[in-house]
Structure formats: C-alpha cells, structure tokens
Amino acid sequence: MKLIKVLAIASGIAAVTLNSGVAFAKRDKREGFNFGTSVRMIDNNDRAFGDASSGVDANVKVNSQSYNPFMAWSTGLLNLGITAHLESNNSSTTETNKDSGHVVDRNASADIKGTSLFGRFLFGKVMFMEFGLGIYKQKLTVNNQYKDINGSAFSGTTDSYVLDSAGPGYHMGYGLELPITDGFYFTTSYTVRIFQLRDISDGMFGAKRAYQQKREITFGVEHYLN
C-alpha cells in the first residue's frame, strides 16, 4: 500500500507539471533509441535473541547491490530491448549458544548475472508497464566455522563450498519515467523478479538448487536519443 501511495503521489506531481505546458512541451516524447540503468541497494544488520528453550542468539548482516543497465528502441507506445541484471549479495551470520558455548560463523557471497529481452508499454506520458524473459546464473560461495568454547578450552572445524547454478527466469513491473532535461529521464519502478536455478558444476544442468523471487524498488536514469 505504501508503494502504491508513493507512485500515486509521484504520478500526480508529474501530471500537474505536465499540464503546465511549456516546461515539458518538448521533453515528453519517449521515442527512438534509449539506454539507461537502475540501481537497488540494501544494507541490513539484524539481531535475534533466543528464548530459554533454544538459548541461541543470532546476528545477521546483509549487504546487497543490483544494477540493471539496458538499451532499447521505442515507437512511442512500445519500448523493446535487452537488459542485464548484475547483483552481488554478501551475508555474515553468527549463531551463539549461550549454554553450550557453541558458535557458528557463516559467510556467504552470491554473484548473480542475468540477461533478458524485455518490453515496456508506455502510457500516460510518464508511466510504463514492463515484462521480460531471460536466463540467470549464480555463483554461491559459503564458508562455515564451527567453534566450541568452554572456559579456557577451544576446539573448532571449518568447511567451505562453491555452487554454480543457472536457469530461466522472468520479471514484470511498473514505474515512472519523469523527464529532466535534454532527453534525460529519472526513473523509478517496482519489479517482481522470479527465476529457478539448477546445478551446472559439472558443465550440464543437474539438480534444482534454488527458486528465487525478489520484489524490488529501483531508481535510475534513462536517456532518449530523439
């Protein structure tokens, strides 16, 4: 609901500005070759405290960035092109059992790359709806440390692994392209991205590794060469 309200307010502001006439008279033609990128960034630091039965405290830190560069050709009604999805995720998790002194440290990093063909339906001077189909690839690296601390005694083990996976996916969403100047637009959108990944560590598709569904609010810049 908050997202709908934000987009509604932004649409209202854009409509009032457009109705003023001169300012946007020559800048609302979304036609011809265009290119741009959008960005999404997340930085979390979450803590959870175990109850009397579990006795496990957890601290989770997540840092994530994604970029979506694209280029396309617009008829004024349909904007068709190709886009890339470049995403990196890093997470650090520490679980501590207060009673036994057992500690688990887990560091994971994921590098996701995707390429999609997409189409945008342009309407209302500044609005668009988008749908795209593509292929995604992920490299996941995980390092685990298991430690037992009892007074002055210490023991521990480690393990690590790397998973390569790939698979098909699609995305869909809607947003705004607000004209700035000389063919440049400020963009914002809400996108749902869904893809399935299968193991490709042996050079061919194997067992299913992941099903990912992401809901993103992104911001970016676009330029029309018209």
Residue 4 has pLDDT above 70, yes or no: no
How far is it, in rounded angstroms, from Cα 36 to Cα 3? 23
Nearest-angstrom CA–CA distance, 210 and 195: 8
29-73 pLDDT tens trace: 899 999 999 999 989 888 877 766 667 888 999 999 999 999 999
Nearby residues of 19 by Cβ (< 8 Å), 6 or more positions away: none
pLDDT tens track for 78-92: 999 999 999 999 999
- Domains of the chain in sequence order: 2-225 (2.40.160.20)
For the stretch 165-211, pLDDT in tens is 999 999 999 999 999 999 999 999 999 999 999 999 887 788 888 89
pLDDT at residue 19 is higher than 50: no
Helix or strand or coil: residue 92? strand
Q: Which long-range CB contacts under 8 A does 59-63 form with residues at least 24 apart?
A: 59/93, 59/94, 60/91, 60/92, 60/93, 61/91, 61/92, 61/93, 62/89, 62/90, 62/91, 63/89, 63/90, 63/91
Whether 136 contacts 170, CB under 8 Å: no
